[in-house]
Structure 1
Amino acid sequence: MRRERLKRELGLLQVTMLGVGASIGVGVFVLLGQAAAMAGPSVIVGLILSGVVNLLSILSFCELGAALPEVGGEHVYVSRAFGGLLGFITGWFEWMSEMFYAVLMAIGAAVMISSVLSPYIPFLTGHVNLLAALLVMLFTFVNIKGTKETGKTAVVLAVMLLSTLAIYIASGWITGFRPNAFDPFMPHGLFATMQATVFLFVVYLGAEDIVIAQGEVREPEKNIPRAIIINTMILIFVYTIIAYTTIGLVPCEELGTASMPLALAAQRTFLGQAGWLLIAIAGIVAALSSLNTAVMAQSRAIYSMSWEGYLPRFLSKIHGRHKTPYMAVLLSSFFTLLLTVSGALDFAAYASSFGFLVGYFLTNLSLIRLRKKEPYLERPFKVPFYPLTPLVGMGTIVLLIFFIQPPVLVLGAELGLLALLVYYILLMGHQRLRIATSGISLGAGLTSVFSAFLVNLDILQPALPVFIPEELLTYGLTVFGMVLIFLGIVNFVKTS
């Protein structure tokens, strides 16, 4: 089957706004309050430091994105540096993180839309997940229709978001700040400020979506590094001014107890209740902008792996008229819809964060590997202060691991094992696949029965997207395990 290439339709402005739209999600609207309570006014320093730390890893994306301007992002870099297996696992985590991030944004946008419109449309109150699913379908259509439309949508949403935040900032400055709002500046010490730095790292995630779409960017060797650096600088500036304004209006302790700290601060301006509505609109626009980019990014990760033969070829089909990978968009959106309807918000947050960190670490590692493996590769942009910059970037990611909750690490291991399973299944022939399936069924069945035993003894507490009573979970694992063991034996006998 002839493999078709994507059309390069994104300019510097569009691809930069894709990154801005992906980064300024609902996180900054809710995480800032907790970070302010943690560190006090010095959270402003934490935001700047977090942006600088993010930039250390983002510079690796700049060099590799300019040198290897192909669709797929981290997957392409790691495959080139370390080969197929690690490249596939990276692409898998890339897809998973973007898919779960899309779920987060869809549900977040639906919750805020419901809070604004439910007084007028009561039906929305109990149907947030349905609304979230409709939003996913809307942006699936946008992404199938064309990359140019996706880019235009990203520009419109990002401009709306930045304009709304500018109104909020201006209203705060016109209203005036509290006396001694920033005194003491570091009430809880330097350690608390560093904790806030790590905590806020997630609000800068999104710039890697620029390189995922680089196969559709005009003059990628120039526009990719420029877009990534401009995107990061915009985020550092915007986040710093937002934090300064918010702390100037509301005490840090009070922000820490607010579910929507920016909305609380907006109410303290001369805008009053209109300020709350303004921030709600900004949060909705932020979530929709991130959802738009996440739907695009996850489909490109699937397209890239299909293009290289790691996933079925039909997933790299290009739409005849719109020139978009419509099959990859449909598949990724299907799984996004399933998770969105389930309402598994915490589960999505865990998976998304871990996947992004895996991609950042392996991209830095790939930069070092390719500098040695392919010293003559043309590099229009080079990371400054090599190898210190990628090494420090990797070190900061390792540091973040110490602040990750254990369920996240368990989930990451589970996703990694699933990626290995899919990789080897796709490389097997029919006969070997049946034999392997028998072994997998037997192994999974025994594991399931053993897990039921551990759950019954309160030794194992699995990370699940929804709560399941212990007795029901034990019974379900036991029955599931017995069924798998039976099917494994039957399949093995037939194969023999």
Structure 2
Amino acid sequence: MDARNLATVATHHKLKKGSLGVWQLSGLSFANMAPAYSLFTTLGLVVAGVGFGAPLLFLLAGVATFFHVNTTAEFSRKCPSAGSYTCFISRSFGNHVGITVGIMYLFAWILLIASVFLVVGTWTQFTIKEILGVNTNWLILMVVFVGIGTWLCISGVTLSSRIAISLFVFEVIVLLIGSGFMIFSHVNYISLSPFSFGKLFSNFKGVGLAFPLAIYPFIGSSNAATMAEEAHKPHHSIRVAVFSAITLATILYVFCVYATIIGSKFDNHILTHATYPMISVAKYALGPYVWLFYVAGLTSTLSLVLVAINAAARVLYNLSKEGVLFKNLSNVHETYRTPYAALLLISIGALGVAVVIGLIFGPINAFNWTGTLGTIPLIIIFVIVNLALPVYFIRNHKDHFSVLFHLVFPILGCLIYLVPLYSTVEPGQPTPYNYFGLTTLAVILAGIIYSIYLVNRRFESLNLGLHVALED
């Protein structure tokens, strides 16, 4: 056993090992993509960009995301860690880059989870209004569901994961059945034209605008990596989980988008002018049972709350254990063996951001802003970790280095994420989006300064990349 693994064994802050099997990990990664809510909110914008070629664009987005998932899988095969990208990058580029990425990761997670919390409040309010005709308060709903979600996460990773996956399974069943009805009720419109490469790429500008939107629903596909310390046989199970999640998600997205286009009878107006195009089309196929789609959106967001809090807390817990953040954040509940301190901090911090921005600017604006600003540093981290993979394998596992898996795929992963990255920081965007690039730069500079301080003042207490999950 080498020194790195001894560091893991010696720690007194252990999570409950072996709690999650490969299919549970797959479900968590899949649930983190929130397919119902992702489809409801992005489909109209994608169709506005590429027309009826949307199914093909989602297929290409899934293939593109596969290259990044490969990076997560290959790192997890050698050094699975609750720190995921912070661990992988630290082992490749050292403490300075690892600490800077850790600060960026924390900033991104708080904003992205704040956006998830806002979704829970507003979508629950919308669902109750549509089904029952009753007006409710999004803020109260958000606080209640966040409180319940945090309590479930603290009460055990197995419990919270089972509930999240159960909610997720319901949304998938509804999406599949609803999409099936859309197709079979309009069989005369079945056509392969939505998969025409010629038609899709005849509008390069539209593809450029829509491709980032098609990528975003896949962003959570690698989050099983953060559950490494609680996984059964993590070196193997995480690889299977992330590849399973991206494969199944791609199939689901393509099928549902294709079904929506068929169900609309190729009516561009319905697809681009409705607030939620998939729900509008489903009304024709499901009639009075369309309420199931509203509930599927709700279970999608509630499941996302559980998996997002759990994933972010594991990263925070690992950064604390490695000396980057306060040591108390790595405290584990004696009974439930969950990182309760990290769970509370991430929930309270994100809830505070959601409440403040939501009350001042409204929940919809707050959702758009926190989601966009949180995505920028996350995409930069994706680019860095893809660059880190060949460096790590050449330095540490040269005998296992593969030109395809450890060089070609990660380079493609980098290039793919440059497209959505540019779309979020390109000049000429309206306020406040025009400040998001500078804000991200300020976070990066703060991370660099903090890394210099830590390395110079606390070098002996830093253990970046050392805490990895052991095989059973």
Mapped pair 1:116 → 2:115: no
Answer whether contact 2:14 2:332 (CA < 8 A) is retained: yes
Corresponding position of 1:289 = 303
Corresponding position of 2:202 = 189
How many angstroms does 1:349 deviate by? 1.1
Corresponding position of 1:469 = none
SS of residue in 2 equivalent to 1:419: helix
Distance 1:402 1:66, change over 3 A: same
Mapped pair 1:141 → 2:151: yes
Higher relative contact order (Cα pairs below 8 Å, separated by 6+ residues): 2
Corresponding position of 1:436 = none
Mapped pair 1:266 → 2:282: yes
Letter of the aligned partner of 1:348 in structure 2?
A: T
**Contiguous gaps of at least 5 residues in structure 1:** 431-496
SS of residue in 2 equivalent to 1:387: helix
- The partner residue of 1:154 within 150, 164, 172 is 164
Percent sequence identity over aligned pairs: 21
SS of residue in 2 equivalent to 1:416: helix
Mapped pair 1:228 → 2:242: yes
What's the TM-score, normalizing by structure 1?
Answer: 0.80
Corresponding position of 1:218 = 232
How many angstroms does 1:256 deviate by? 1.3
- The partner residue of 1:239 within 242, 246, 253 is 253
Distance 1:39 1:309, change over 3 A: same
Mapped pair 1:363 → 2:385: yes
Corresponding position of 2:443 = 415
Answer whether contact 1:132 1:341 (CA < 8 A) is retained: no
**Contiguous gaps of at least 5 residues in structure 2:** 1-9, 359-365, 427-433, 459-472
- The partner residue of 1:326 within 340, 360, 363 is 340
Letter of the aligned partner of 1:353 in structure 2?
A: T
Distance 1:234 1:174, change over 3 A: same
How many Å separate the matches in 1 of 2:297 and 2:324?
A: 37
Corresponding position of 2:363 = none
Corresponding position of 1:6 = 15
Corresponding position of 1:15 = 25
Segment drifting more, 76-85 vs 94-103? 94-103
How many Å separate the matches in 2 of 1:29 and 1:72?
A: 31
Letter of the aligned partner of 1:87 in structure 2?
A: G
How many angstroms does 1:414 deviate by? 2.6
Mapped pair 1:62 → 2:90: no
Segment drifting more, 191-200 vs 219-228? 191-200
Distance 1:428 1:356, change over 3 A: same
How many angstroms does 1:97 deviate by? 2.6
Distance 1:384 1:158, change over 3 A: farther
- The partner residue of 1:83 within 88, 94, 111 is 94
How many Å separate the matches in 1 of 2:222 and 2:233?
A: 17
- The correspondence of residues 331-410 of structure 1 with structure 2, limited to 5 A, is 331-342=345-356, 343=358, 344-375=366-397, 384-406=404-426, 407=434, 408-410=436-438
The number of equivalent residue pairs is: 424
Letter of the aligned partner of 2:16 in structure 1?
A: K
Distance 1:200 1:237, change over 3 A: same
How many Å separate the matches in 1 of 2:73 and 2:403?
A: 8
Corresponding position of 1:443 = none
How many angstroms does 1:415 deviate by? 2.2
How many Å separate the matches in 2 of 1:425 and 1:353?
A: 27
Cα deviation, 1:115-168, whole Å, max 9, x if unaligned, reads 2224758451xx212311222211111111111112212221221111111121
What's the TM-score, normalizing by structure 2?
Answer: 0.84
How many Å separate the matches in 2 of 1:249 and 1:170?
A: 10
Cα deviation, 1:357-390, whole Å, max 9, x if unaligned, reads 12211111110111222135889xx684441111
How many Å separate the matches in 2 of 1:2 and 1:217?
A: 17
How many angstroms does 1:413 deviate by? 1.2
Corresponding position of 2:461 = none
CA RMSD between the two structures:
2.5
Cα deviation, 1:161-191, whole Å, max 9, x if unaligned, reads 1111112112212321564877685277241
